[in-house]
Amino acid sequence: MRHLFLAVLWRDLRLAARRPSDALLPLAFFAVAASLFPLGIGPEPQTLRQIAPGIVWVGALLALMLSVHTLYAGDRADGSLEQMLLAPQPAACVAAAKALAHWLVSGAPLIVAAPVLGLMFGLDATTVAALAASLLLGTPSLSLLGGLGAALTLGLRNAGMLIFLIVLPLAVPVLVFGSGAVAAVAAGEPAGGHFSLLGALLIGSLLGAPVATAAALRIATE
């Protein structure tokens, strides 16, 4: 299982390196979307600090969903997905590796960019650190859920829109607790409960999403 996991992970990372524009698209969308809100709302510092957690988290969610619809489409088109599913190892290993590759390419850069956006909204250092920590705990869950949505819509027309409809309701708890943790820190309140729930959601996603994704992939390729 370890060899299959690493082989799929390394393959997806190399493919992403060959298409840097695809990898940079979520990051560019994240930065542009967050930067436009102050122009529309106004430069009032207190207002910007209050809405910053929600804006950054919504931007991260939408940015990750931009690239998730291609997670399995290319492998299905060239026949490599069927070969992966025929391996003696569990297909959930393939799903977990592809979700990790998606997070490394699309999710990790958002965590690096988030502190810059937090400072742009006037957040202090403690709140910026909480923002980065919440994204670190929450964005892997989004990649796992996005992989499930991509598997459920594999081969369907307008798959990108269907993924949004499937994943967004499942991602609401991550969005709520992620932005809630940052808001609690900004208000000087304890945020341990929010982070604990984010961790619980991540564990639940790690345990359930790859298995469900594997089942959906097998149905889509039959």
CA 18 from chain centre, in angstroms, equals 21
How far is Cα 169 from Cα 163, in angstroms, rounded to an integer?
Answer: 11
| Segments of the chain with pLDDT less than 50 | none
Please give the pLDDT value at position 199. 94
Q: For residue 195, what are the CA distances in angstroms to 2, 145, 178, 204?
A: 29, 19, 8, 14
pTM of structure = 0.89
Please give the pLDDT value at position 201. 94
Please give the pLDDT value at position 66. 85
Please give the pLDDT value at position 212. 92
Please give the pLDDT value at position 135. 94
Q: DSSP strand E in the chain: where?
A: none
Please give the pLDDT value at position 38. 78
Length of the chain, please?
Answer: 222
Please give the pLDDT value at position 21. 76
How far is Cα 58 from Cα 74, in angstroms, rounded to an integer?
Answer: 27
